[in-house]
Amino acid sequence: MAPALVFQLHLVLGYVAWLLCFGVYVWPRLRSMPSFEAQRAIATLHSFRFFGLVFILPGVVDPHLPASFAVFAAYGDFATGVLAMLALLTARIRSLFWAFVVAFNVVGVIDLIVDYYHAVLVDLPARAGELGAMYVIPVIYVPLLMITHVVAFRLLLRSVPKAVPSY
């Protein structure tokens, strides 16, 4: 099987496996929690996105991994992770907490979408071996990140107060 096909299959199956796991174990719990607690749990997961900086760490990924993919992926993950940490650090100041929750989710989704775009431009599936040990990030970790961003937005919409009709 061609390496590009293996990578694409891994990516799709990463989403399938996480959606199955999420649907059975995570979503029922998150949806039953108060919005604040659910968002804190999601922010905790995303606070580890500083790890994305490994895409620019010499010796971890192949030096031929295109910078147009690696640099944006690294700093987008780093920014998202820092924003998620700021959300956690400001949990006692609810207005700041919610601002950082929105910020890390917006930045995080944009990062992942632009990473997918750059991956297509550089034909990352055909170059998947250049990811080295970090191959696991796009096929295992990224699907979970995208799913939790979608869930975070859904929970944010749930917590928006309904407008009372005026007569």
Residues 41-54: pLDDT tens digits? 999 999 999 999 99
Is residue 107 within 8 Å of residue 76, measured between CB atoms? yes
DSSP for 14-61?
HHHHHHHHIIIIIHHHHHHS-HHHHHHHHHHHHGGGGGGGGGGSBTTB
Q: Is the pLDDT of residue 122 over 80?
A: yes
The average pLDDT across 60-78 equals 95
Q: Is the pLDDT of residue 163 over 90?
A: no
Task: Report the C-alpha gap between 133 and 129 in whole angstroms.
Answer: 9
Q: What is the pLDDT of residues 14-23, one digit of tens each?
A: 999 999 999 9
Whole-prediction pTM: 0.91
Q: Is the pLDDT of residue 165 over 80?
A: no
pLDDT of residue 158: 84
Q: Is the pLDDT of residue 30 over 80?
A: yes
pLDDT of residue 162: 57
Q: What is the pLDDT of residues 72-97, one digit of tens each?
A: 999 999 999 999 999 999 999 999 99
The average pLDDT across 131-147 equals 95
Task: Report the C-alpha gap between 19 and 40 in whole angstroms.
Answer: 20
| Closest of 137, 135, 122 to residue 76, by C-alpha | 137
Is residue 137 within 8 Å of residue 123, measured between CB atoms? no
Task: Report the C-alpha gap between 128 and 9 in whole angstroms.
Answer: 12
* Residue % of the chain over a pLDDT of 70: 95
